[in-house]
Structures are given as structure tokens and as C-alpha cells.
A and B are shown apart, each in its own frame.
Chain A
Amino acid sequence: MTHDTTLELDPRVPMLRLTRDFDASPADVFRAWADPDLVVRWLGPVDRTMEVERYDCVSGGAYRYVHVRGDDRQWFHGSFHDVRPGELIVQTFTWEGMPDSVALETARFHDLGDGRTRLVTTSLTDSFEGRDAFVASGMEAGVRDSFAKLDALLAG
């Protein structure tokens, strides 16, 4: 069975929150998050491959990876601020196309018992515009067009 993913956009601060249950223990969900060989299998967009330059998922560690589609290479990097295995990851996130914009991200692995985990991730950006661009990033041209159209409608 596929569990549903919920998305909340916080109205007070530029944060977005994703919640999703998994039929696996917190230790396993954490491992899929912390082991670069496993991360490359799920983190990237579906139409891109992911290559990891470094991925050291420990407190004080860092990561850098690239999403590849043909000649297009989009690099991302950040620091792992706090890592508590099976429990919590606090990290920064930067798309190198916008190097001055840094998001603060958390992933919390809540034990639901019976080998199930509720994963709650948050991304806090430094502005509402930053968050909205974050949500719009990686979208196909058609969606970005409708985003611009929405801006125009709302501005009108």
C-alpha cells in the first residue's frame, strides 16, 4: 500500500512541511537517508540521475551532489548540522544556481511502532519568495508558466 504525502505551507514563516508514513523502522528509514548508495536511488527527480561527490551524514558532516539529465547538471550542497541516527537530521540546503540562498531543513523519524515510521521534514527558507521559488523549482515549464500566470493574476 502506498501512503499519502501531505504538504503544508506555513502562513507565518516561509516553511514547508511534508509528512509521510513508511512501513519500515526508524532505523531503516534513517539508513536510506544517510547511506549515499541508497540516497541516489530515491532522492533525485524521476527524470534525472543523481551522483554524489561527498555525503558524510554525521553531525558536522557535509554533502554535495548533482542531478544529471543529459548535459544539464544541477549541483546542491549543504552541511549536516546535527545527526541523531534513527531520530533526527538537521541540515542546510543550497542549490548552487542560487548560492546565497540557504534553507534550513529537518527530518524527524517518529517511531509509530510495529515497524512503522512517520517521517516529517521541514524546509525553512530565508524569505517567502525563496520558499515559493523552492516549491516551483524542478517543475516543468508548463507549471512554471502557470506560476508566473498566478503571480500576474494576484498582482492584477
Chain B
Amino acid sequence: MAADPLSRAFAALSDPTRRDLVARLAEGDANVTDLAEHYDVSLQAVSKHVRVLEDAGLVSRTRDAQRRPVHLEAQVLDLMTAWIERYRREAQARYTRLDAVLDDLATTQTAPRTTPSRRRAGGTR
């Protein structure tokens, strides 16, 4: 597994089951047994996914409670999302400027074709 914390968090979220677990936990804390009911895999497999999320700092588990509910660290997730979204928006802004350049290209390319035809149609110049 990747060494730095941020990559660990990204790696943890790369798995569809773990992403689904995070989505479920966004609605509220739940213990592993309850979570496992939603998946066609063993309790042990779900428990292992939860441990990966826990190691990545995305979820925490109360030590003293008997059922040890899994709690989503929403703050971490929000920051990751904001960070990625910001980069994506910068790329989007860049590509919107590229759209404008391409519009100009399309205009200059059609101009030499339309000008002579207009001349023919007009017949006066």
C-alpha cells in the first residue's frame, strides 16, 4: 500500500465496496454486522474492508462500546472531495478557454469558403 496518508485514503476509496460502505456510513454510524447484510460477501470480508478504511483515516471505531459502531470521518472525506474538485474545476476552466479557441478556429476556417459564395450570390462586388 502507498506510504503517504493521502494516497492511502485514495487507495482505500478505489474499491467499489468500500465506496459503498462510505456512502452508507454517511447516513449514520453502523456496526460491521449491520453493514455486512447489504453485501454478498462474508462478514470477515466486510470487516477487512472496514479495517482498510480505518487504516486510511476515513472511518473510526469506538473502542469502548460493545458493538463498536463504525463512524465516518466526514471531515477527511470533505477535504479530499474539495481538493479534487478544485483541481477538476481548474481543468474545466482551461478547457472552456480551449472551447473558445476552437470556436475561433471554426469561424476562420469557414470564412474563406463563405466569402466567395456570398460574392457569387450577391454578384455586385
**Taking the complex as formed, is A112 at the interface, i.e. its CB lies under 8 A from any CB of chain B?**
no
| A28→B105 contact, CB < 8 A | yes
Residues of chain B lying within 8 A (CB to CB) of residue A153:
57, 73, 75-76, 79
| B4→A129 contact, CB < 8 A | yes
Q: Known interface pairs A2-B96, A5-B95, A32-B101. Does A138 touch B90 (Cβ–Cβ under 8 Å)? A: yes
| A128→B79 contact, CB < 8 A | no
Closest to B96 in A: A2
A156 to chain B, nearest CB (A): 7
Count of chain A residues with Cβ under 8 Å from any Cβ of B?
43
| B88→A150 contact, CB < 8 A | no
Q: Which of B90-125 contact A (CB under 8 A)?
A: 90-102, 105-106, 109
| B99→A22 contact, CB < 8 A | yes
Q: Which of A5-45 contact B (CB under 8 A)?
A: 5-7, 9, 11-12, 14, 18, 20, 22-24, 28-29, 31-32, 38, 41-43, 45
**Taking the complex as formed, is B59 at the interface, i.e. its CB lies under 8 A from any CB of chain A?**
no
- Choose among B11, B83, B94, B109 the residue that contacts A150 (Cβ–Cβ < 8 A): B83
Size class of the B contact interface (CB-based, 8 Å): 35 or more
| A154→B97 contact, CB < 8 A | no
Residues of chain A lying within 8 A (CB to CB) of residue B82:
143, 146
CA of A30 to CA of B13, assembled, Å: 34
| A7→B7 contact, CB < 8 A | no
- Choose among B4, B8, B87, B102 the residue that contacts A29 (Cβ–Cβ < 8 A): B102
Residues of chain A lying within 8 A (CB to CB) of residue B28:
none
Main secondary structure of the interface of B (DSSP, over half): helix
Interface string of A50-73 (1 = CB under 8 A from B): 000000000000000000000000
Q: Known interface pairs A5-B92, A146-B82. Does A38 touch B76 (Cβ–Cβ under 8 Å)? A: no
- Choose among B8, B84, B98, B102 the residue that contacts A154 (Cβ–Cβ < 8 A): B8
**Taking the complex as formed, is B86 at the interface, i.e. its CB lies under 8 A from any CB of chain A?**
yes
| A150→B80 contact, CB < 8 A | yes
Closest to A146 in B: B79
Residues of B within 8 A of A (CB): 2-11, 13-14, 56-57, 73, 75-76, 79-80, 82-84, 86-88, 90-102, 105-106, 109
Can you sample 13 A-B contacts with CB below 8 Å? Answer: A3-B95, A7-B88, A11-B10, A11-B14, A12-B14, A18-B88, A29-B102, A42-B101, A135-B83, A146-B83, A149-B79, A150-B79, A155-B5
Which 6 A-B pairs have CB atoms at the shortest separation, nearest pair first? Answer: A11-B14, A154-B5, A42-B97, A128-B7, A24-B102, A7-B88
